[in-house]
């Protein structure tokens, strides 16, 4: 099935690149979504089977692939709305859809890759695809954001490659030349700890550009700001999940070695610094898209704190990335409507949104409640479990500081959101405010409701996928 998916995606990308007719483009995108869902359903019914040698439908990969397929549908719908609102030319529209299909394809394949080098290859493809989306507006700011993302992305992917080389050297010393994850798990106790430490530091640092952690978080925030909102929704959700997969699979290797405590310390420090940075920027940010981008950094920091704490934190971390992807993508989709009303990303130039777009305002309000993990948000459950894992790991001082930082983030986030919703905008001419069809907000309500449902009343199959994703970790 993987061969059909990859070849089919490539053919659809070529067809999109060569075609300039609007409705044919939309039809090709529809065919791609059918192909993506066919792979997802096939993978769900063939758990733990290997396909095309380098891909395995393991529980974590399948779970994230399902979330990717769910988010891909509204991403394409809002992309259609976006290109039509901006009256894009056939060539620009073709490049946009080629890039977004390429991005989704690479992310899905990266989830299922069972070899560390294959994950690296698809992570590099996401950099190239995302770069084209960041440069979509073709202005000076877009060019600056694109070059920054390409430059930092190139450095990060080089770091991952260096880490893989060190890991290859280490695994050869054990008498094995196989860099598949299953081989690395088996040989973890016998791998030289020095080379293993060195490899993890490079791999972890490289993937922080996708995951959104210190030290390479800046490129991701700029990318989400400059890219069209439907593309930014993917960058801030499913692409960050690919960064998590890249780190988590290597983390699982080290957790089965004598370096378990050391690797927890490394990712715990990076996560805490990322949470601190997110708090500082959230307190002063006045750009709506960047605010959402820094909020994503906060959530990924919490995820890695859960992983570092261990125990129930492992379960909470995977639950959190799933729920966050649904919530944050819905907020970015809603930004499309906010921009159409005010033609601005600045907090200073928006306000009274509940008057101009009541349905969209409810999405923003419910999205804020969900993103800040207030009950009845599903993220409340995953965050509570992360706090519990820190408590059980006797990290009480860390837990206290984390709670203080999160309180500051909620205050800063809430101040900006309520400014958008209820404060009358200064100098805004509301005589030509576009009427936005409430149907455009349906997909966002669905995503938010799904996040709530999976957090508060998760189906047994969903829980089983998460638990099976953790079987290789020390209990």
Express each pLDDT in 190-231 by its tens digit.
Answer: 889 999 999 999 999 999 999 999 999 989 999 999 999 999
Q: What's the token pair of residue 199?
A: 């490899």
* pLDDT value of position 431: 84
Taking alpha carbons only, the member of 19, 17, 68, 21 closest to residue 40 is 68
How many CB atoms within 10 Å of residue 193?
A: 13
Contacts of 193 (CB under 8 A, 6+ apart): 257, 258, 259
**Contact (Cβ atoms closer than 8 angstroms) between residue 40 and residue 109:** no
Alpha carbon distance 71, 3 (integer Å): 23
* pLDDT value of position 430: 83
The distance in angstroms from the start CA to the end CA of the chain is 34
User: Quick check: helix, strand or coil at residue 249?
Assistant: helix
Which residue is it, tokens 């550009």? 209
The vertex-372 CA angle with 445 and 81, nearest 5°, equals 35
Alpha carbon distance 324, 241 (integer Å): 10
* pLDDT value of position 111: 98
Q: What is the largest CA-CA distance in the chain?
A: 74
**Contact (Cβ atoms closer than 8 angstroms) between residue 142 and residue 136:** yes
Q: Give average pLDDT by consecutive 10-residue segment, the chain, 475 residues.
A: 97 95 94 98 97 96 98 97 91 95 98 97 96 92 91 94 93 83 91 93 96 92 95 97 97 93 97 97 95 97 97 97 98 96 93 95 97 95 97 96 97 96 89 91 98 97 97 87
* pLDDT value of position 327: 98
């Amino acid at each position: 099935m993987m061969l059909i998916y990859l070849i089919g995606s490539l053919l659809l990308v070529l067809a999109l690149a060569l075609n300039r007719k609007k409705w044919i483009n939309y039809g090709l995108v529809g065919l791609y979504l059918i192909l993506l869902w066919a792979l997802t359903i096939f993978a769900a019914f063939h758990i733990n089977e290997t396909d095309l040698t380098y891909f395995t439908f393991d529980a974590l990969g399948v779970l994230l692939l399902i979330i990717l397929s769910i988010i891909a549908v509204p991403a394409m719908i809002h992309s259609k709305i976006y290109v039509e609102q901006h009256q894009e030319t056939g060539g620009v529209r073709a490049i946009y859809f080629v890039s977004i299909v390429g991005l989704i394809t690479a992310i899905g394949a990266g989830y299922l890759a069972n070899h560390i080098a294959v994950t690296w290859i698809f992570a590099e493809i996401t950099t190239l695809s995302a770069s084209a989306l960041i440069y979509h507006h073709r202005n000076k700011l877009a060019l600056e954001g694109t070059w920054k993302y390409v430059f930092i992305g190139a450095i990060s992917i080089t770091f991952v490659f260096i880490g893989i080389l060190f890991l290859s050297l280490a695994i050869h010393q054990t008498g094995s030349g196989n860099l598949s994850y299953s081989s690395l798990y088996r040989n973890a106790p016998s791998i030289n700890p020095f080379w293993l430490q060195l490899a993890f530091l490079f791999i972890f640092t490289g993937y922080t550009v996708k995951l959104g952690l210190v030290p390479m978080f800046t490129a991701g925030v700029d990318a989400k700001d400059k890219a069209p909102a439907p593309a930014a929704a993917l960058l801030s959700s499913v692409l960050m999940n690919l960064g998590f997969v890249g780190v988590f699979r290597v983390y699982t290797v080290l957790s089965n070695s004598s370096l378990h405590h050391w690797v927890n310390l490394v990712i715990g420090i990076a996560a805490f610094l990322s949470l601190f940075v997110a708090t500082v920027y959230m307190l002063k940010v006045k750009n709506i898209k960047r605010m959402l981008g820094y909020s994503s950094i906060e959530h990924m920091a919490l995820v890695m704190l859960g992983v570092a704490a261990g125990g129930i934190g492992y379960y909470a971390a995977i639950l959190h990335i799933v729920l966050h992807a649904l919530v944050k993508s819905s907020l970015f989709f809603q930004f499309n409507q906010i921009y159409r009303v005010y033609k601005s990303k600045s907090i200073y130039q928006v306000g009274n949104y509940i008057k101009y777009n009541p349905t969209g305002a409810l999405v923003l309000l419910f999205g804020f409640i969900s993103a800040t993990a207030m009950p009845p948000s599903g993220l409340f459950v995953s965050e509570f479990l992360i706090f519990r894992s820190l408590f059980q790991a006797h990290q009480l001082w860390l837990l206290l500081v984390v709670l203080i930082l999160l309180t500051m983030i909620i205050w800063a986030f809430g101040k900006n959101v309520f400014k958008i919703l209820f404060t009358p905008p200064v100098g805004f001419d509301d005589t030509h405010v576009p009427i936005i069809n409430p149907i455009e907000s349906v997909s966002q309500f669905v995503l938010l409701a799904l996040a709530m449902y999976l957090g508060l009343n998760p189906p047994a199959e969903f829980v089983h996928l998460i638990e099976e994703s953790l079987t290789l970790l020390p209990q």
